[in-house]
């Protein structure tokens, strides 16, 4: 029995290099000894996504679970939050700004 392409199992392989590259792009430092473990975890996450990707759906143009499109808001101003509220979760702040320290 031949399967339609849609139902074929697609496999994505995650390599150590992928994890290193993603860490670099995300500005994260990953110790050498954690790389293998993280590669395995990442593979599991990707496998899970593959399972969803490969789930049969009746319609090719399937876009979202509620089949919604054109969800808009009107261009009406809503009062913003105060500076104090906005900065209340900031790890560091100074002079009404979020502060990002230079680590170099």
In the stretch 55-94, what mask flags binding to another protein with x, by CB under 8 A?
A: --------xx---xxxxxxxxxxx-xxxx--xx-x----x
Q: Rule CB under 8 A: is residue 52 a binding residue for another protein? A: no
3-state secondary structure 11-55: CCCCCHHHHHHHHHHCCCCCCHHHHHHHHHHHHHHHHHHHHHHCC
Which residues face 57 on adjacent strands?
none
Closest distance to another protein from the beta carbon of 2 (Å): 29
Cβ nearer to another protein, comparing 33 with 60: 60
């Amino acid at each position: 029995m031949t399967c339609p392409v849609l139902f074929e199992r697609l496999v994505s392989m995650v390599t150590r290099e992928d994890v290193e590259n993603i860490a670099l792009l995300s500005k994260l430092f990953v110790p050498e000894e954690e790389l293998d473990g993280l590669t395995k975890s990442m593979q599991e996450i990707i496998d899970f996504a593959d399972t969803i990707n490969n789930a049969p759906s009746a319609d090719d143009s399937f876009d979202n679970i509620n089949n919604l499109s054109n969800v808009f808001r009107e261009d009406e101003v809503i009062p913003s939050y105060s500076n104090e509220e906005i900065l209340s979760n900031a790890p560091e702040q100074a002079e009404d700004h979020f502060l990002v320290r230079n680590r170099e």
